[in-house]
Amino acid sequence: MANPFSFNWLTSVVRQVNRSKSYGNAAKAFTARLLIESGPEKYILTIFEGKVLRVKRYEDWTNSWDFALRGSPGEWEKFMDSARLYNDLFACLRRGFLRLEGNVELAMTNVGALVALLGIMRAHKHD
Amino acid sequence: MTRQLEHDNSNSIVGKYLDLKVSGTTYKIYYEEAGAGIPLCCLHTAAADSRQFHELMLDRDVTDRFRVLAFDLPAHGRSEPIPNWLRETHKLTGKFYRTTIMEFCRSLALERPIILGCSMGGSIVLELALLYPSSLGGVIGLETTAHSSGRLIEFLDHPHINAKDFISHYVSGLISPEASRWNRERILWYYGQAGPRVFAEDMNYYYTMDIRDKISRIDTRKCPVYLLTGEHDYSCAPEMTIQTAAKINGAKVRIMKGLGHFPMTENYVHFKKYLMPVLNTLEKTWRDRFGNSD
């Protein structure tokens, strides 16, 4: 199965994220290093006060991150397609389709920004 | 821009206040009513209020035959807060909840009311059917389960987290993806207006409630039980309602296509297709058993 995540795709999505007004409003105080894992593909988004400054491929334990959102490529594919049972982030976390790890409190403090960011990913899944 | 409800006779809903004494404390609660006939008492979801039932209360197909009432629990909606709330957290218990409901019905002299509740309201109706079968005309549970788990998390009431913002995201996924944008916004707006810690305490009650070993004692010959659950609900998934109904001899259950956790607000027109057969049956049963309503 093709992995929905790639460096080029994620970089393109980040451009949309940084342009998004609704995301910007929700992410004013969002400063974090977010690790997104889709099977073997792992990327760290460095975010400062809402702006995604950098997308970097995760290499090894020396790469720091604050919280991680992990899933298999298949689960991410279904989330991106808003498949039944994959309504939203909390549905996926509850059912174990996606896993949230690390500084979960930081993630929940910025849940509006995180949801908006994932929404932009969904909207641009075919870019 | 003002959004119009589909049945635009907004004069027909009347709001009032009632002093309700529960366990020695008097609460000033707000309620709304519309229509005349068999009393149909509606129970809102956690942290919400009776506005969730406005389309139902504006539906002449219902209000021509039913006196529809919906009250806001103490500290919810337009009801007054719990006394001393700044110093103490009010714990919602099953006893307080069902006592409040029955006291509301008693205070208004509602004769054999039919109770329609959603989510935590959908679960408490099972306790009412169990404990007060002779006082009720039947119960309708929306998104009903005898036990749920997995959504009671510390972030519902956390000093670092904006509760109003968090709750709207936490609840949003329960709404059917087929709901209109406006109805989604309304549902989440009501949640955003909840008072401090109200959602957390309602969740604490709902996710610690477990009546699985009691509901088999419900006698549906005395108190008919109808359960309706939206297919998109993952807080109370359809299989949970089906399992609950299986334990209640004579309970009727239907899964509602295209609807989620808030069927009466997400898409009332579509929800009505499931509700009306239940109301029609309960009306007939009610009149056969108790005669005509006033």
In angstroms, the CA A106 to CA B102 distance is: 43
**Helix-then-strand count for chain B, H and E:** 10, 8
Which residues of chain B make contact with A84, given a CB cutoff of 8 A?
Answer: 232
Instruction: Please write the tens of the pLDDT for every residue from B129-149.
Output: 999 999 999 999 999 999 998
DSSP string, A42-90: EEEEEEETTEEEEEEE--STTS--SEEEEE-HHHHHHHHTT-TT--SHH
Q: In what order do the strands lie in the sheet with B252-256?
A: B14-22, B25-34, B66-71, B38-43, B114-118, B138-142, B225-230, B252-256
How many C-beta neighbours within 10 Å does residue A120 have? 19
Question: For residues B277 and B286, what is the distance between their CA atoms, to the nearest angstrom?
Answer: 14
Residue with tokens 């008097």: B26
Q: How confident is the model at residue B40 (pLDDT cuts 50, 70, 90)?
A: very high
Please tell me which residue of chain A has the smallest CA distance to B237: A85
Q: Quick check: A73 pLDDT over 80?
A: yes
Single pTM value for the model: 0.93
Which of A87, A89, A95 is opposite residue B232, by nearest beta carbon? A87
Residues 6+ apart with CB under 8 A from A25: none
Strands (E), B23-65: 25-34, 38-43
Neighbours of A1 (CB within 10 A): 8
Give me the pLDDT at residue B7, please. 55
Helix (H, G, I), strand (E, B) or coil at A27: coil
Read off the pLDDT of each residue in A5-17 and give the average, rounded to a whole number: 94
Residues of chain A with Cβ-Cβ distance to B151 below 8 Å are: 90, 94
Cα angle B168, B115, B14; round to 5: 75
Q: Element (H or E) spanning B139, and its range?
A: strand B138-142
Residue matched to tokens 């949801």? A115
Yes or no, beta carbons of A108 and B174 under 8 Å apart: no
Residue whose C-alpha is closest to residue A121's, from A31, A22, A16 = A16
Tokens at A25, concatenated: 């409003």
DSSP state of B45: -
Return the closest-CA partner of residue B58 out of B11, B15, B17, B16: B11
pLDDT of residue B9: 61
Roughly how many angstroms between the first and final C-alpha of chain B, as a whole number? 40
Report the pLDDT value the prediction gives residue B1, as an integer from 0 to 100: 41
Mean pLDDT of chain A: 94
CA proximity to B101, closest of B77, B75, B80, B132:
B132
| Rounded Cα gap, residues B63 and B68, in angstroms | 7
pLDDT on residue A85 = 83
Chain B CB within 8 Å of residue A82 CB: yes
Which of the given ranges, B136-140, B165-169, B203-207, has the highest pLDDT on average? B136-140
As a whole number, the mean pLDDT across chain B is: 94
User: Alpha helices, DSSP H only, in B132-217?
Assistant: 163-172, 181-192, 198-208
- Residue B2 banded pLDDT, cuts 50, 70, 90: very low
Give contacts of B167 with chain A, Cβ < 8 Å: none
Q: Examine the pLDDT at B205 and tell me if it is beyond 50.
A: yes
What average pLDDT score do residues A106-126 get? 94
Average pLDDT over residues A14-38: 96
Residue A97 has pLDDT above 90, yes or no: yes
Beta bridge partners of B18: B29
- For chain A, report the end-to-end CA distance as a whole number of angstroms: 18
Does the beta-carbon distance from A112 to B169 stay under 8 Å? Answer: yes
Helix (H), strand (E) at residue A15: helix A7-19
Q: Do A108 and B173 count as a contact with CB atoms less than 8 A apart?
A: no
Per-residue pLDDT for B293 more than 90? no
In this predicted structure, what is the pLDDT of residue A12? Answer: 94
Beta carbons of B250 and B222 less than 8 angstroms apart = no
Question: Among all chains, which residue has been given the structure tokens 């629990």?
Answer: B73
By C-alpha distance, the chain A residue nearest B168 is: A112
Q: What is the mean pLDDT of residues B193-212?
A: 93
Q: For an interface test with A, which of B149, B152, B157, B162 has the most A Cβ atoms less than 10 Å from its Cβ?
A: B162
* Of the partner residues A82, A94, A111, the one whose CB lies closest to the CB of residue B151: A94
What percent of chain B clears pLDDT 70, i.e. is strictly above it?
96
Q: Band the pLDDT of A126: cuts 50, 70, 90.
A: confident
pLDDT tops 90 at residue B101: yes
Q: List C-alpha distances in Å: B132 to B104, B105, B111, B241, B253.
A: 14, 12, 13, 21, 21
Residue B200 and residue B91: Cα distance in Å, rounded?
10
pLDDT-derived band at B38, boundaries 50, 70, 90: very high
Contacts A91 to B, Cβ<8 Å: 173, 234
Indicate whether B254 pLDDT > 90.
Answer: yes
Percent of chain B predicted with pLDDT > 90: 89
pLDDT on residue A38: 96
ipTM score assigned to the predicted complex? 0.89
**pLDDT, tens digit, for every residue of B82-95?**
999 998 888 899 99
Distance (Å, rounded) from C-alpha B229 to C-alpha B122? 10
Residue A35 near residue A67 (C-beta atoms within 8 A): yes
In this prediction, residue A127 carries a pLDDT of 73
**Across the A/B interface, how many CB contacts are shorter than 8 Å?**
44
Backbone angles phi, psi at B183, to 5 degrees: -65, -35
User: Which whole number is the average pLDDT over B233-248?
Assistant: 96
A16 token code pair: 């949309």
Q: Packing angle between helix A73-80 and helix A111-123, nearest 10 degrees?
A: 90
pLDDT exceeds cutoff 90 at A39:
yes
